[in-house]
């Protein structure tokens, strides 16, 4: 399998020769007839084509400026909600722990872990920050005010629409990032569908 180059950041194009290479490679794997290899090559072709025509950083941030998580029974605004709502509807986390946070990037270092989300909890101020969602029937990702991604969102469909806005790396296949002013959004796909979305702040 041909591999796309390691990303060097928005505005720099290391992918301009790969679309043609993948088109040739796609012809070869179609002759072989390996369905799994054909599907992977098709995805990499779409990705390389999008990355070779990447939109400026400002357009990417504009696209997702209203991004947010959607979780059943929680009123979320820019990844934050209330502790009382969490306690009422999600009272039994599978794990509770104190995390190291030397940079102070999280709301609090007390974390509640659930099967479909990771949450930083500030009981004293009745506030929570959802840092990761794992897509299921109760969780969705609002990319912007017109686009909602779910656990049924396919990697191929996502890349077809948004590969010109994302960043990607050979070291992390099936993981794509969007830039925010003080953080990045990390989208991971497994078995061809959206698995998780995480917001990671810069230290």
Below-50 pLDDT ranges, the chain = 1-13
Give the pLDDT score at 9: 43
Stated pTM of the model: 0.85
Q: How far apart are the C-alpha atoms of 21 and 74, rounded to whole Å?
A: 46
Give the pLDDT score at 32: 73
Give the pLDDT score at 25: 58
Give the pLDDT score at 11: 43
Domain ranges of the chain: 1-54, 68-134
Give the pLDDT score at 29: 64
Give the pLDDT score at 157: 96
User: Facing residues of 185 across strands?
Assistant: 178, 199
CB 86 within 8 A of CB 128: yes
CB 199 within 8 A of CB 158: no
């Amino acid at each position: 399998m041909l591999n796309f180059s390691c990303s060097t950041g928005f505005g720099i194009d290391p992918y301009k020769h790969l679309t043609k290479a993948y088109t040739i490679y796609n012809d070869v794997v179609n002759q072989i007839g390996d369905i799994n290899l054909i599907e992977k090559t098709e995805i990499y072709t779409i990705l390389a084509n999008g990355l070779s025509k990447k939109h400026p950083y400002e357009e990417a941030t504009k696209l997702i400026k209203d991004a947010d998580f959607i979780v059943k029974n929680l009123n979320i605004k820019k990844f934050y909600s209330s502790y009382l709502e969490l306690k009422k509807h999600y009272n039994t986390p599978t794990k509770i722990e104190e995390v190291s946070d030397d940079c102070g990037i999280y709301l609090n270092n007390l974390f509640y872990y659930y099967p479909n989300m990771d949450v930083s909890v500030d009981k004293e101020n009745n506030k929570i920050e959802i840092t990761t969602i794992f897509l299921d029937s109760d969780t969705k990702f609002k990319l912007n005010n017109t686009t909602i991604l779910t656990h049924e969102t396919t990697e191929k469909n996502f890349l077809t629409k948004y590969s010109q806005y994302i960043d990607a790396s050979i070291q992390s296949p099936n993981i794509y990032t969007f830039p925010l002013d003080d953080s990045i959004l990390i989208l991971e796909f497994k078995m061809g569908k959206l698995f998780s979305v995480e917001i990671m702040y810069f230290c």
